Structure 1
Amino acid sequence: MKRTSGLPRCVLATAGRATTYRALAVALILAAASTEAYPAADDVASLYGPQPPADATYLRVVNLSTHTAKLALPSGAQPIELAPGAASRLDVVRPGTALKVRVDGGIPTGSEGAAPAAGADTVGETITVALERDASGAWRATPIAAPAASADALRAQLRVFNFVEGCDGKIALERSPASAVFTGVATGHAASRSINPVAASLVAVCGQAVSPPFELPRLAAGQSFSLFLSGLATHPVLSGALDALNWPAR
C-alpha cells in the first residue's frame, strides 16, 4: 500500500471525514444557539414591555373630594371616573401638550398653577393634581410638581406631596412618631427618599395634630409609591398610590 506522510490513505480519509463532521457539528450548534438567542431577546422585551418616550412628562390626579370626578387627561386617553380618595395612573404627556385636566367637562379653577404645557422644563417630572370641590359644587385643582423618580434596583422609592395649607408636613411611623420618615415638607411641595421594601403603618403630623394611620403596602425593589398629605392642619389625612404608568394609553 502506498503511504503518504507515513500514514495509510484509509487512515487519512477517515481523519478527513472526522474533521468535516466536527466542523459541521460546530456549525449546527452555533446555528441553534443563534436561533435560541432571538426568542430570549424577545422574552426580555416582553418582560419590560413598551417603554414611554424619554421626553415625557407625567401627570396624575388624586380626588380629595367626596364626589366622583369624570376626568379627561392631557394625553387624550378615554375619560375615566375617579372615585373619592382615588388617584389616577400617571398619564404620559408629550412635549407641546397642554397640562390641563378637564373635570366633568370643564377646567377646574387653580389649574394655572401648573406649567401651561409639557416641554423641556417638565421632562421627567411628576405633576400631581389634587381635586377638591367647594360649597358651590365647583372643582378646584392644586398641582404639585416633583422631580423624576430615581431608579434603584435594590430599594423602593417613597414620595410625599403636601396639599395642606399651613402644615409643615411630617411623616412618621405610627408606633414611633419620633422616628420621622419625612420632615419639613412645606405646603405645595414634595419630597422623596429611598426605603427598604418593607410594609409599614404611617401617620402624617401637622404640629400637634396626627392623622389616622395609613398602611403602606410592601413595595418591591425598584417600585415607587406616592403619599398624599391632605385635609386641614388641625385634621390631616394621609393617603397614597403606587406610581403606575398609564402606558400604553388605555
Structure 2
Amino acid sequence: MKRNRLGKSKLAGVTVVATAALLSAGVAYAAADDVASLYGPQPPADASYLRVLNASSQAVRVALAGSESPQTLAPGAVTRFSVLTQGTPARVTVDGKALADANATANATTHAGDAVTVALSHDAKGWHAARIVGRYERVDGLKATLRAFNFTSGCNAKIGVDGNGPTVFAQVAAGAQDARAINPVSAKLVGQCGAVASAALPLPALAAGDSYSLFVTGDAAKPVLSGARDALAWPPAAN
C-alpha cells in the first residue's frame, strides 16, 4: 500500500510538472505576442540606420537609401531613421543630386547598429553635408534618452537648462555625439559655444523609453539648438 501511494504520488508529480510546463509555455507565447504588439515588427539584427537633418533656412528634397521614402524637408526638420540592410551604402540624394561630401564615406563599412546622421547646410555655392556616426540603442529603458549632436565647427558645445540651470551635456566636441539617460522632465534647453547661447528649445513631453536628439548647428558665433524625436521608418511602406 505504501509503495502504491508513493507510485501514485510520483505519477501525480509528473502530471503537475507537465501541466506547469504547458502553462509556462503558454505564458511565454502570450508574453511574446504582447512584446510583438507593443514594439511591432523589428528591423534585421544586422541593420544600420541613416537620417537627414535640414540645418539650412530653406526646404530641400531628399532621398535616402533604405526604408525611408523620398520627401521634402522644411528648415530644421529631420527624417526618420532609414533602415539599411547589410551591404547597403548610406547614400543621400539632395534635390536629385548626390552630394560628394554627404556620400564621401557612404561606401565605408558600417556595423550593425550604426546610426548615421547627415546635416545639410546651404550657401552661395550650393548644398553641403556633414556626417556624424553613432549607435542606435537605448541608454536606459526605464528613463528617457537624450542624444546630442554637434555639427558646429570650432565649437565645444555645452547644453544646459535655460536660465543658468543644470548642465545636461558639459562638452560635445565638433563632429561628435553624446548620449545620456534622464528622468522625464519639462524643461527649456540652450546650446552654447563658449559664452554665446542659442535660443531656448522646449523639450517635448518624454516618457520612459523615449529617445530624443538635440542638434547644435549654425556657427560658433551664432549657434542654433534644434531637436527631434528618434523614430524608425519601419516596417517599410508598401509599394
Is TM-score (shorter-chain normalized) higher than 0.5?
A: yes
The match for 2:6 is: none
The match for 2:42 is: 51
Give every structure 1 segment of 4 or more consecutive aligned residues whose post-TM-superposition deviation is greater than 3 Å: 36-44, 112-115
In the alignment, does 2:196 pair up with 1:209?
yes
* 1:115 to 1:79, Cα distance in 2 relative to 1, 3 A: closer
Q: For the pair shown, which has the larger CA radius of gyration, 1 or 2? A: 1
* 1:85 to 1:111, Cα distance in 2 relative to 1, 3 A: same
Once the two structures are TM-superposed, the CA of residue 53 in structure 1 deviates from its matched residue by 1.0
- Give the share of equivalent positions with the same residue, in percent: 49
In the alignment, does 2:228 pair up with 1:237?
no
Q: Which amino acid in 2 is paired with 1:152?
A: D
Once the two structures are TM-superposed, the CA of residue 147 in structure 1 deviates from its matched residue by 2.4
Structure 2: runs of 5 or more not aligned: 1-19
The match for 1:81 is: 72
Once the two structures are TM-superposed, the CA of residue 44 in structure 1 deviates from its matched residue by 3.9
Task: Please state whether the residue corresponding to 1:245 is helix, strand or coil.
Answer: coil
Task: Please state whether the residue corresponding to 2:170 is helix, strand or coil.
Answer: strand
The match for 1:133 is: 122
Pick which of 75-84 and 157-166 moved more. Answer: 75-84
Query: For residues 59-208 of structure 1, what are the structure 2 equivalents within 5 Å?
Result: 59-75=50-66, 77-117=68-108, 119=110, 122-136=111-125, 138-177=126-165, 179-208=166-195
Distance in 1 between residues matched to 2:68 and 2:223, nearest whole Å: 33
Distance in 1 between residues matched to 2:218 and 2:95, nearest whole Å: 23
Structure 1: runs of 5 or more not aligned: 1-29
Once the two structures are TM-superposed, the CA of residue 186 in structure 1 deviates from its matched residue by 0.9
The match for 1:9 is: none
Once the two structures are TM-superposed, the CA of residue 39 in structure 1 deviates from its matched residue by 6.8
Task: Please state whether the residue corresponding to 1:244 is helix, strand or coil.
Answer: coil
Distance in 1 between residues matched to 2:51 and 2:186, nearest whole Å: 24
Task: Please state whether the residue corresponding to 2:159 is helix, strand or coil.
Answer: strand
Once the two structures are TM-superposed, the CA of residue 116 in structure 1 deviates from its matched residue by 1.7
* 1:234 to 1:71, Cα distance in 2 relative to 1, 3 A: same
Distance in 2 between residues matched to 1:97 and 1:231, nearest whole Å: 30
Q: Which amino acid in 1 is paired with 2:156?
A: D
Once the two structures are TM-superposed, the CA of residue 109 in structure 1 deviates from its matched residue by 3.4
Distance in 2 between residues matched to 1:41 and 1:145, nearest whole Å: 32
Q: TM-score, normalised by structure 1?
A: 0.79
How many residues align? The count is 218
Q: TM-score, normalised by structure 2?
A: 0.82
Q: List per-residue Cα deviations over 1:29-87 (Å, max 9, x = no partner).
A: x9xx89x8677754442222101111111111000112211111111643111111100
